[in-house]
Amino acid sequence: MSKNESLIVDGKRHEFVWHGPSPEEAPTLVFLHEGLGCVTMWRDFPARLSAATGCSALVYSRSGYGRSDPCALPRPIHFMHHEGQKILPELIKLTGIRQCILVGHSDGGSIAIIYAGNKTAIPLLGLITESAHVFCEEKTVQSIRRTREMFKNGNLRSKLQKYHGDNIDCAFWGWNDVWLDPDFKHWNLEEYVPGIKVPMLVIQGEDDEYGSPAQVESISRFAGAAEVLMLSNCRHNPHQEQEVAVFEAMKNFICRIKDH
């Protein structure tokens, strides 16, 4: 079963889609999108992963993205902390989730690390990150500058507008401006990683234009027992660019920890 809904979190309406059984019947996969993502940009990946694992799946758009309410700009430097410490816990509580596995892509992966590194309100069974950042690299900044030019002078705006509609400027500039803020170079999440006490699967493309393998190395060093999947011929979107390998890795990881 798939069900499109919305709810108010921290005074903002958030769109979300629910796949599979109710949270009383199975653990829930919570999907956290990338810095320019939203519900629809996950395509059918969450629904298929839900069906393959027997888990339910919650897919939502953060404020300023997709069909959720817009957010105030500019975003503060610690906006991901607010998402991981305030919004995500409240959303999980309001939707009645009892056990969860987080699946976070890029900024969503960083938000998942913040959430998982703190004391959680409900049992957290595991954590999957794709292309997550735990510190700001010059490589990331340079790629985001290039993306800015593509948005201003290329066709990126029109490509993204079909997903974000009236939120297009909020979604793009809210992400782009904060990452290019000179103070963002001091942004760092490494202190949260040792607090993650659940199994973790870390996925990254070897050709990721937004982050180097140093991100994965840092997570692995501080997390200890994290599983790592580095993918050749893959850039920043592993679940699209290497869909079969990523789907199988996620499915196997989820089935192993939910039945443990």
pLDDT at 2: 64
Q: Which CA distances in Å does 174 have to 17, 44, 79?
A: 23, 26, 10
Number of domains in the chain: 1
pLDDT at 39: 98
For residue 87, what is the DSSP state? I
Distance of alpha carbon 90 from alpha carbon 181, whole angstroms: 28
Residue 43 gets the label, from left (phi > 0), alpha (psi -120 to 50) or beta, of left
Residue 242 CA to chain centroid, in angstroms?
17
pLDDT at 65: 98
Neighbouring-strand partners of residue 227: 201
Strands 56-60, 100-105: pairing is unpaired
Buried residues in 118-151 as b, exposed as e (16+ CB within 10 A): bebeeebbbbbbbbbbbbbeeebbebbeebbeeb
- The answer, as to whether pTM is greater than 0.85, is yes
User: Counting Cβ atoms within 10 Å, is residue 55 exposed (0-12), middle (13-18) or buried (19+)?
Assistant: buried
Distance of alpha carbon 145 from alpha carbon 136, whole angstroms: 14
pLDDT at 160: 98
Residues in the chain: 260
Domain that holds residue 193: 2-258
pLDDT at 192: 95
Residue 64 CA to chain centroid, in angstroms?
15
106: amino acid identity, one letter: S
Mean pLDDT by 10 residues, the chain (260 residues): 82 97 96 98 98 98 98 96 96 95 98 91 91 98 98 97 97 98 97 94 98 96 90 98 98 91
CATH of the domain at 76: 3.40.50.1820
